[in-house]
Amino acid sequence: MSTESVEDARPVVPTINGKTPQWLQDLDPYGIDTLTVAALCEKFSAVCESAVDSLEVASALEFEGFNDRAVQEEYGVKDVFALARAMYRRVSRRPAAPAPASDPWQMNRLRPLLHGLLYALPAVCFPAAGGLLGGPGVLPTLVVALLVAWGLSQGLACIGYLRRAGTADEEQVQRVLRAGLGAGLVLVALAMLAARLDLHSHPLVLFFGAGEGVYMLGACVLMVVGAETWLPLALAPGVVGSGVFLYLGRPPGLEHLAWGALGATPLLACLIALACTRKQGFRAGRLLVAPELRAAVPAIAFGVVAAGLLSFPVIAGPQGHGGLNAGALLASLPLSLSMGAAEWSLLWYRRRTRRLLGTMSGLGGFRLRSRLSLFVALLQYLCGTAALMAAGAAIAGATGFAHPGWADLPEMAAYLMLGSAMFLALLMQTMGVRAIPLLAASAALAAELILHNEGMIVQVVTPAALLIVIGCFAVMALGAVRHG
């Protein structure tokens, strides 16, 4: 065949502005069917559009059975990699949007309500136990039990959630919670022994204080493992027995039954917690690691300080020298119930800011919207807690349990501000901001202890100052990095 005939047999190669497209440069122009290559690109469109390199296309071709001989015969290219380069250059990049990540803050809306009830229902046991407790050191012993139990439960919850957020499986989480529950029970017993030696408290007082600590530790474990629906079963004997005992006017003949009901609640909570963290097979390795212990220390300290701030007005009284503080008593139960509202508002805020991260591109706009969301979350908590306090005062007045008046409003307002500060502090703790809230709360408790002779003034001014400090710090600290 002559040279002219060979040239005449050459197919017409498409050009753009006089140049051959890059993807055709890998193809042998003799006998090439570009429509076949186009069909192949369409078949592998998902791979070609999302590939970041031609090697991904080559890998997909080889996985489907393409080899060098086949592509040479059918497409006129030297090997699979040349065909992959041609396909990669021919198809525009249109990567598919990644699947939306699961929302870690999504939760059943009834769960915060259940948690609020679980925080508040044990308070029914205190009025019943008040008529059964006597002797020296009653209030200091119960305060010691509260401080120890709050601190230990906060630290145990922190370790449990950290272990779950890491690479540990559920068996490891249950293992560390079970060990922490055992250690916490020993520490509560030692605290009650110290109260006996120092305060000479009556054994029944020690029994009630130990029960308080045991219940809080058991409830903490059940909440971490997501088995809090068992807690109403544990609470039933104590709450129902206390309610009946109070309704009947605390008859002396039922005191033993009342003590039995009060003792059954912490025992059941502990047994259910042990059952839900059933013993697993032997596992090698350390039970705790240093980072978890370091993270638990601020949580324990914050639990102790928070318990101190909440109990100080009740202990100090309106004048700072003891005595009945009606406003603090009226606010304490609604504040316990408000923990459910706090949890709901916290989850709402975290879901809201998570959506903002996915929809906003500018840091300035995100800061503005996230701060507005923080204000709305705080306002939601304030409104819910104020409504609970108003309802509690109305019920107390209607049943004759207390006679709320205008004089109680400053103390109730102080508890409302204290609850708001604790809400913001807990929200920041979920985002890894622990030092400043702990320091601010510790300073507030120290101020109340030092200035307790000032009475109601320091009990109102201190929570207000704490709310201002923590609120301003939250506005500055909760930026895009923290949310991310």
214/311: higher pLDDT: 214
Q: What is the CA radius of gyration of the chain?
A: 33
Q: Which pair of tokens denotes residue 244? A: 């009946």
Segment 45-73 shows an average pLDDT of: 84
User: Is residue 459 a contact partner of residue 448, using CB atoms and an 8 Å limit?
Assistant: yes
pLDDT tens digits for range 125-160? 777 776 677 777 777 787 788 788 888 888 888 888
> pLDDT, tens digit, for every residue of 228-248?
888 888 888 988 888 888 788
The answer to whether the beta carbons of residues 242 and 125 sit under 8 Å apart is yes
Amino acid 400: pLDDT:
64
Q: Which band of pLDDT confidence, cut at 50, 70 and 90, is reported for residue 366? A: confident
- Name the domain count of the chain: 3
Same domain, yes or no, for 336 and 473?
A: yes
d(CA 471, CA 51): 47
CB proximity list for 397: less than 8 A, separation 6 or greater: 403, 404
Q: What is the pLDDT of residue 12?
A: 39
Q: Are residues 249 and 125 in the same domain?
A: yes
Are 273 and 300 found together in one domain?
A: no
Same domain membership, residue 139 and residue 243 = yes
pLDDT of residue 31: 42
**Does the pLDDT at position 17 exceed 70?**
no
274 & 154 share domain: yes
User: Is residue 478 located within the same domain as residue 356?
Assistant: yes
Residue 95 lies in a domain: no
Query: Is the pLDDT score of 22 beyond 90?
Result: no
pTM of the shown model: 0.68
pLDDT at residue 125 in the model? 75
Paired with 16 in beta bridges are 19
pLDDT at residue 32 greater than cutoff 50: no
> The domain containing residue 137 runs over which residues?
107-288
Q: How confident is the model at residue 401 (pLDDT cuts 50, 70, 90)?
A: low
Task: For residue 289, give Cα distances in angstroms to 162, 163, 292, 359, 391.
Answer: 11, 10, 6, 38, 46
Residue 72: the pLDDT is 82
Q: In whole numbers, what is the pLDDT of the chain averaged over residues?
A: 78
In a domain, 100, yes or no: no
Question: What is the distance between the alpha carbons of residues 108 and 187, in angstroms, rounded to a whole number?
Answer: 34
Using the 3D structure, point to which of 288, 307, 336 is the last residue of a domain: 288
Helix (H, G, I), strand (E, B) or coil at 148: helix
| Residues 137 and 27 placed together within one structural domain of the fold | no
Provide the greatest CA pair distance for the chain.
125
Express each pLDDT in 33-49 by its tens digit.
Answer: 566 777 788 888 888 88
Say if residue 315 is in the same domain as residue 275: no
313 and 208 co-located in one domain: no
- Is the pLDDT reported for residue 461 higher than 90? yes
- Assigned domain for 208 exists: yes
Cβ(328)–Cβ(313) below 8 Å: yes
pLDDT in tens, 188-224: 999 899 888 887 888 888 888 898 889 989 988 888 8
The single-letter code of the amino acid at 187 is: L
Q: Are residues 352 and 402 in the same domain?
A: yes
Structure confidence by residue, pLDDT tens digits, 265-286: 999 999 999 998 876 554 555 6
Q: What is the mean pLDDT of residues 15-21?
A: 49
DSSP 3-state assignment of 16? strand
User: Do 155 and 170 sit in the same domain of this protein?
Assistant: yes
96 assigned to some structural domain: no
pLDDT value at position 434? 84
- Give the model's confidence band at 409: pLDDT under 50 very low, under 70 low, under 90 confident, else very high: confident
